[in-house]
Each structure stands twice: as C-alpha cells, then as structure tokens.
Amino acid sequence: MNLLGDIRSHLAEVASDPAGKALDPRLLEKFDGQVTESISETDRDTLIHQLAELLPTLQQDPSPATTLIEILVRPASYTFARVLDIDPPVDFAAGLKALFPSINLVTLSLLEKAKFKSSDAGIVAGKPEIVAALIELWLSTPDTAVASKAHSVLLGLLTAGERRKEAATTTSQDRPEHYEQSLMWRRVFRDKDIYDSIFRICSLTNAGQDGQLGKRDKTVAQARLLDLLVKIDCESIRRPLIAEVESRYGVKDGGLMEFAALKMVDYKDDVLMHMTLIDFFADLLKPEHSMVETRDFASYQLASKSHEDADLRGSHTRTLSYYLDATKHSSLDSTYLYGRSANYLATYCSYHPAHFLSFQPVVDSTVARLSEVLRKITPGQWAQGLTPKHDLHVLASLPRQALLPTPTSASPLFLLSARPPNEGALQTLAA
C-alpha cells in the first residue's frame, strides 16, 4: 500500500529531526478508519510501534500522530493484550499527566481497551500510579473532551467484564455488589491515597491552597463526581470505607455518598452547583440510574439508620421548598431553582407515589401551589401557548389520588383550559 509506505517514510523523517521536521497532518489524515480496516495486523502493529517510538521525542504538536494511533487501535480486535505489547511500552501514568490533551486522549483510548475484560482491568488496578493519574485527570483537567473520556474509561474499568444489561434483562448477577469485589473497585475505594484524592480534589476546604484547584475548578470537579456517583450508586459508597479519610472531610457514617450529597457543595453561595445538586438528587430517585437492586425512597436517603437521616430529610424538604414555597427564597434562587425543584418533585411523585401520598402536608402544599399558579393563567395566555411548563410537569406526575377533589379544595385539573385549546394543557390531561 503506497499510502502506508509514504506515512512510514514521513514518520522516519520526522524521527530523524523531531525538532525541525514537522508532521504532515494532511498526509496522516488520509489514513482514516476505512483504510485501517484494510491493512494487515502486522502492518498495524508496525505502524503503532513506529508512532510509539516517535511520540516521546516530538517537540511539536503531537495531535496528528496521536489521532492516527487512536484510529489504528479503534477496532475491537485490538485488545489490551496488544496494547501491552507496544514497544516501547506505553507509559500510561506519564500520558495521563501530560500537558497536551491529545496525549491524554490517546492514552485514555489505549487504557479503555482494558474495560472489556475484568482480568485486564485487574492489571490496571495493580498499577496504583495509573489509577491515581486517571482520577486526577478526570477531576482536574480543564479540557471537557478529556474529562468526558476519562469518565467513560473510569466507569468502564469499575464495571469491567460485566456490562450492564437493559432493565428488562438485568438480573441480580449484574448488580454492583459483584463489581465491589473487583480489583479496580477496591483500588479506587480502598486505597487510602487514591480514595483521599477524590475528597481532596473536590473539597472546598482547601480551595486555592498550594497545589490545589481554585474554587471554580473544584466546582467542575464536584459536578464530575456527582455524575459518576449516580451511575455507580450502591451500598459500597454509602457506608464508611476509610474512616481516617472520611473524618477529615466531616463525613461520619455515609461514606463517599454522604460527602458528595451533604458536605461537598456550597449550595448557599453557588446557585449553579445547587442546580447540579438538585439534578443529582432527582437522578438518584430513578431506578434506571442506580446500580442498587431495589430503589425505594428509604434507600435514596442513603442509610435509614445513619446519623445523616435528619440532614437528608432536610435536603429533601429544602429542595421541595424552592417549588412549594418559592417566596421564602431569594429572587436569584427562585429564578434558577424553581424549575429544578419542580422536576425533583415530579420525579419523586412518579417513582415514589406511595411515599409522596404518605405525607399529607406535602400533598396539600403541592395541590395548593398548582392551583395558585393555574388560577393566574388568563385565557389569552392559554391561547398564546404561554403555559407554566414546570407546573404542568408536576401536575402530570401527581398520583391520581392526589388529584381528587376534597371538601375544601377542587382539583387543579379543573383549572386547565380546554378552550382555547392549549397543547401543554392537553398533554397534561392525557398523561
């Protein structure tokens, strides 16, 4: 193949003068995924080895070379065993710590190959310097593409070899209680230094100190942690794992989940992170986002007998209050949190109707709030489609029992406009 020969010759020229000879992006871009499907595995390995030798010596933007490596290793047939055979050996830790995002991305692509077999993930887990660098990169990088890739790789390694099935076919054998026994899981959550790094990077107590992220970057790290915890939520991260670490950050008996849900976020002074936290709480209510075999409202509250029950009940009540009693909050909070709170309430009603109905004051407040809002909508607003979408979402999610008229109040359904017809109102009635 002439193209393969041209590329190998070009890479040899760059290798002979890595400071003076520039990579030719146009030439390397010609070697796309379609071409890589047609080359022999021997040629694939030879080219990867050539690129691996070149990368450490480059004194220029390495992205054309790293992109080519990513294309070459993309096929499923290129396993982690073959990654380990690359000569010179891949220095994963150095690649994850590199300042070039392109180096980070290609290293992550190579590391990702380990997620398909638990034995390969175990090899990675046996290298604490790699896992530590992966955690640091995932939480600290300012590059969103790198962070997203690192998240995917970490999640894959934590659940390696046991890909989650669709809810209809998931069995108890696929639940994370099995993941918790994996070497990778134990490395992340049982290695004191690595476990501590998660708390250290995300905690605001050391923001701006020497070697630590500033507050803004820490809030980004916090959002990334919340995103992962929703996907790996299980008993293991809801109980104490390393008390020496957890106690330094005010955690008593709720583990990493207590830290993330109750200690980490400065919700009083950071409305954007408060929005993220409410979304996190809402996602925790959804069984499809959990790796816990059963998800009732008590399990959402982390641990029914733990000390933080009162704090969690307080968080639940506070989160609902931004919708049910918005006037008690600042105009800024009401503006940004009203819709988030409404979505949380709608999720709560949809997935835990019995628990919702068991608290009559909350039921009454919800019906009263809906009635108050809907009474203010004029026929002209209904006609123009100016509907309160957040309130209609709550109304559509309420258990039917909560919508029955009572001697003291009519059902808010009676306040929906049928004439003039309104799409939002009709969809709510049809829900």
- Residue 260 is given by DSSP the state I
Which residues fall within 8 angstroms of residue 419, CB to CB, at 6 or more apart? none
Residues paired with residue 409 on neighbouring β-strands, in sequence order: 406
The alpha-carbon radius of gyration of the chain (Å, integer) is: 26
Question: How many Å apart are CA 415 and CA 125, to the nearest integer?
Answer: 59
Helices then strands (H, E): number in the chain? 26, 0
What pLDDT shows up at residue 171?
A: 44
Collapsing DSSP to helix, strand or coil, 409 comes out as: strand
Q: How many of the other CB atoms lie within 10 Å of CB of 181?
A: 11
Helices (H), 249-378: 255-258, 271-284, 297-300, 309-324, 331-351, 353-357, 360-375
Q: DSSP assignment of 59-76, as one string?
A: -S--HHHHHHHHHHH-ST
pLDDT in tens, the chain (431 residues): 588 999 999 999 999 998 889 999 999 988 876 677 788 999 999 999 999 999 999 999 999 999 999 999 999 999 999 999 999 999 999 999 999 999 999 999 999 999 999 999 999 999 999 999 999 999 999 999 999 999 999 999 999 865 443 333 444 444 555 667 799 999 999 999 999 999 999 999 999 899 899 999 999 999 999 999 999 988 889 899 999 999 999 998 889 999 999 999 999 999 999 999 999 999 988 876 555 444 455 545 543 334 445 566 688 999 999 999 999 999 999 999 999 999 999 999 999 999 999 999 999 999 999 999 999 999 888 888 888 999 999 999 999 999 988 776 789 988 888 778 788 888 888 87
Contact present, 347 and 286 (Cβ < 8 Å):
yes
Task: Tell me the β-bridge partners of 406.
Answer: 409
Tokens of 263: 């200690």
| Tally of CA atoms within 13 A in the half-sphere of 422 that contains its CB | 24
The reported pLDDT for the residue numbered 162 is: 56
Q: Count of CB atoms within 10 A of residue 272's CB?
A: 10
Alpha carbon distance 345, 398 (integer Å): 9
Residue type, 65: A
Residues in Cβ contact with 21 at an 8 Å cutoff, skipping those fewer than 6 apart: 13, 14
Cα–Cα distance, 129 to 84 (Å, whole number): 16
pLDDT of residue 177: 54
For the CA atoms of 92, 94, 97, 98, what is the dihedral angle to 10 degrees? -110
Judge whether 427 and 415 are in contact, CB under 8 Å: no
pTM for the predicted model, two decimal places? 0.89
